[in-house]
Amino acid sequence: MWRPAEHSDQENLQWAWLRAVEWINWPLFISQPVVPVLLYFFTWQSIVISAVVIAYVWRIVVAQRFVSASLVGFGPFFVLLKFVSCPVMAFLIWQQNDRWIAGLALLWPLAVHLIEWPLTMLEAVLAAFFPVFEKSQRTMDIGPVQQRLMSALGYTRRDR
Residue bearing the bigger pLDDT, 144 or 80:
80
Weakest-pLDDT range from 36-50, 58-72, 137-151? 137-151
Give the residue from 29, 20, 30, 2 showing the smallest Cα distance to 145.
Answer: 20
Check whether 110 has a pLDDT greater than 70.
Answer: yes
pTM: 0.79
pLDDT of residue 4: 58
Residue bearing the bigger pLDDT, 29 or 159:
29
Task: In whole angstroms, give the CA distance from residue 152 to residue 37.
Answer: 33
Task: In whole angstroms, give the CA distance from residue 6 to residue 10.
Answer: 12
Q: Where are the alpha helices (DSSP H) in 42-98?
A: 44-57, 69-79, 82-95
**Span 108-133, mean pLDDT?**
78
Indicate the pLDDT class of residue 5, thresholds 50, 70 and 90. low
Indicate the pLDDT class of residue 133, thresholds 50, 70 and 90. low
pLDDT of residue 140: 59
pLDDT of residue 132: 60
Task: In whole angstroms, give the CA distance from residue 9 to residue 158.
Answer: 7
pLDDT of residue 66: 85
